[in-house]
Structure 1
Amino acid sequence: MSTSSRKKVLLKVIILGDSGVGKTSLMNQYVNKKFSNQYKATIGADFLTKDVMVDDRLVTMQIWDTAGQERFQSLGVAFYRGADSCVLVYDCTVSKTFENMNAWRDEFLIQAGPPDPDNFPFVVIGNKIDMEPQRTVPAKRAMAWCQSKGNIPYFETSAKEAVNVEQAFQVIAKTALGKEDEEPFIPGEVDFGDEPKEAKSSGCC
């Protein structure tokens, strides 16, 4: 094994979305395997780290949970800079949170200023599928939106019941690692890059 493949990679992942969609809950479920019914608004931003294996490489994910309230959006630039992946979260039971996804995506691209915005790795999560009877955003609608933005990987999750959370973050880590590896790009090392359609569609269920 070469030295470069042994070195630890730090990936900065930003979670964005309206207040109350479950950003903090998703992060806590993934990192700490915990869920709390007590809703507490995130002030500014907070982050947790988790070491994960991605294609036989040890990766440290630094997951930033940002406040959904607009009055904190001015804090954005420092948090967004250097991000390797951005997760857009909405609540399946509140249409407005889905409709605001364009604004969150645009805001991120403006603040983070990635060199290749068209190919920046986003992942979309529709949270709270444990509340299926109250659903207002059909999966087809969300998948069509993801497709129109360049086949963004799409997951439906329940932070409460730990449904699809692990799988979603595994794809988030892979897409972020794909961005890290672009210079120099090592073909075949991650499922992201040369075959975007095939690789990305695999995470869309």
Structure 2
Amino acid sequence: MSSRKKILLKVIILGDSGVGKTSLMNQYVNKKFTASYKATIGADFLTKEVLVDDRLVTMQLWDTAGQERFQSLGVAFYRGADCCVLVYDVNNAKSFDTLDSWRDEFLIQASPMDPESFPFVVLGNKVDVGEDKRVISSKRATAFCQGKGGIPYFETSAKEAVNVEQAFEVIARNALAQEESQDFNPDFPETIPINIGEQNQGCSC
């Protein structure tokens, strides 16, 4: 249908504080990386127009705070999401162990119509740090994703732009498929962007 309304895809990026959520988003949208660390307060978002299978869509990427004290903000930000990205640091075992709770929390707060088929993507970030510091193997992460119904998995480096573009291509495609599946349900609410000010320039790198 050429007369379709403009497509807005809402993507939520979750994970512990410091795993690189802001860095990944800035690398993808702005092609920039900064080594300074500034924790995200609440949530910020950036937008990027991308082509998905020859269709122009606007991705709205929400970068949420990893600190537990901000998780109560979840409902407003999670509702209407088309894809959820779970990020951990391959050099930090705890950040991997909490992926399950982030995923569960998202499903509770976002209340998607079909939780079983809702698209998630897992990113193992900071592969540039080096194999000697790595604590979570590719095999373990892949097994986790397969156990959740075959979640797409990418190993990334926001610093060196490794797999960032490829990962977000899959994220965009899965988000678009989810958005289109909602078109069959006229009762599904529209996503209303919330203006929460400028994206901070710090990063969780």
Which residue is equivalent to 2:126?
Answer: 128
* Residue number in structure 1 paired with 2:58: 60
1:181 CA drift (Å): 1.6
Matches within 5 A, 1:114-125: 114-125=112-123
Q: SS state of the match for residue 20, structure 1?
A: coil
Structure 2 match to 1:45:
43
- SS at the partner of 1:21? coil
Secondary structure in 1 matching 2:181: coil
Q: CA deviation at 1:183?
A: 4.6
Q: Which residue of 2 aligns with 1:17?
A: 15
Indicate the residue corresponding to 2:176 in structure 1. Answer: 177
| 1:86 positional shift | 0.2
Alpha-carbon distance, 1:8 to partner? 2.1
Trace 1:28-107 onto structure 2 (pairs within 5 A): 28-107=26-105
Q: Which amino acid aligns with 1:49?
A: T
In the alignment, the residues of structure 2 paired with residue 43 and residue 184 of structure 1 have an alpha-carbon distance, to the nearest angstrom, of 33
Q: Deviations over 1:10-52 (max 9, x none)?
A: 0000000000000000000000000010010000000000000
Deviation at 1:184, TM superposition (A): 5.4
Taking the aligned partners of 1:106 and 1:142, their CA distance within structure 2 comes to 17
Give the Cα–Cα distance (whole angstroms) in 2 for the partners of residues 75 and 3 of structure 1.
36
Report the counterpart of residue 201 of structure 1 in structure 2. none
Give how far 1:182 is off: 1.6
Q: Which runs of 5+ in 2 are unaligned?
A: 185-205
Instruction: Tell me the secondary structure at the aligned position of residue 18 of structure 2.
Output: coil
Q: State the distance in 2 between where 1:49 and 1:183 align.
A: 21
Identity %: 74
The offset of 1:180, in angstroms, is 1.2
1:147 counterpart = 2:155: no
1:104-146 deviation digits (Å, cap 9, x = unpaired): 0000000000010011000000000001221100001000000
CA RMSD between the two structures: 1.1
State the TM-score, normalizing by the size of structure 2: 0.87
- Runs of 5+ consecutive residues of structure 1 not aligned to the other structure: 186-205
Tell me the residue number matched to 1:159: 158
Amino acid at match of 1:121: P
Q: Deviations over 1:69-102 (max 9, x none)?
A: 0000011100000000000000000011000000
Q: TM-score, normalised by structure 1?
A: 0.87
2:50 match: secondary structure: strand
Aligned to 2:193: none
Relative contact order (alpha carbons < 8 A, sep ≥ 6): 1 or 2 greater? 2
2:191 alignment partner in structure 1 = none
